[in-house]
Amino acid sequence: MNGTPVMGPAVVHDSFTSARPPRFGDPTNENYPSYRRDVKLWLRHTEAAKYKQGVALVVCLTGEPKEFAKTLSDEMLFSEDSGYNVLLHLDKAYQYSTEIILNSRVSAFLDYQRLPSMSISTYIAGFYARLDNLTQLQMPDYLKGHLLLKQANLELSERTMVAASAKGSHKVKDLVDSMRQLYGDRQEVPVASPTYGVPSFVTKKKIKKFCTCCKKKNHLEADCWKNEKIVKRT
């Protein structure tokens, strides 16, 4: 040997090589995908014998998940695929499927809207984060660009400026560059109201009437009893 250190195998985290699998006891499906991912890593790297992996998983379950796992037959629980059998059995309980996950991600994407207190840059970051979860859908550029502008809740005039700055491009990147160039981190970009596209800061305030004829409030000159034109007509 010439003193050069010998590189050993890649080190895998202890939690995945030890005989104890991840723990889980959540009766809802909110945290199940994360648990499922950890179990698959553990099954791939654990040193536990395959026929013991299923029992090890069940032992580390609590509450409703554990009670459901106990309904698995002994043949499935002690087979060479025992660990994956337990995982597939839990999938049924939590109705886990790629279709369900995709549907929830689509809903989260379509429900995302820029709020009045949200800057353009914050909105863009949130839009990208949700869009990245839908890469398997392969949405056309014009649809992604349309949703970017629509969900930004910009006034019609603001959307027109963004489109003009992007030179008619429907690509999200071009529209994002345009929005960042026009607005940056400004917080005061108005959010369009659902009422005829009038900005929310206008619809929230009642417009005060003031008469320039008698100098009094709550009516306009056209309705003023002191207006000579009205007096002559009557």
179-209 pLDDT, tens digit per residue, is 999 887 665 566 665 433 333 333 334 445 6
Structure token digits, residue 164:
């003009």
pLDDT at residue 225, as a whole number: 62
Which among 98, 85, 158, 157 is positioned nearest to 133, based on CA atoms?
98
Q: How many residues does the chain have?
A: 234
pLDDT at residue 60, as a whole number: 93
Q: Are 43 and 53 in contact (CB under 8 A)?
A: yes
Residue 227 pLDDT class (50, 70, 90 cuts): low
Share of the chain above pLDDT 70, in %: 68
* Mean pLDDT computed over 28-41: 84
Q: Is the pLDDT of residue 61 over 90?
A: yes
- Residue-wise pLDDT for 72-108, tens only, equals 999 889 988 899 999 888 888 887 766 777 887 888 8
Q: Is the pLDDT of residue 7 over 60?
A: no
Q: Which residues pair with 61 in a beta bridge?
A: 24
Question: Is residue 120 exposed (0-12), middle (13-18) or buried (19+ Cβ within 10 Å)?
Answer: buried
3-state secondary structure of 70: coil
- Residue-wise pLDDT for 145-185, tens only, equals 999 999 999 888 888 999 999 998 989 999 999 999 988 76
Q: Is the pLDDT of residue 210 over 70?
A: no
d(CA 139, CA 92): 30
Q: Is the pLDDT of residue 37 over 80?
A: yes
Q: Mean pLDDT over all residues of the chain? A: 77
Helix axes 120-131, 98-110, angle to 10 degrees: 160
Structure token digits, residue 152:
């930004």
5 Cβ neighbours under 8 A, 6+ residues apart = none
Share of the chain above pLDDT 90, in %: 28
Q: Determine how many CB atoms are found less than 10 A away from the CB of residue 215.
A: 9
Q: CA 6 → CA 1, 49, 132, distances in Å?
A: 10, 29, 40
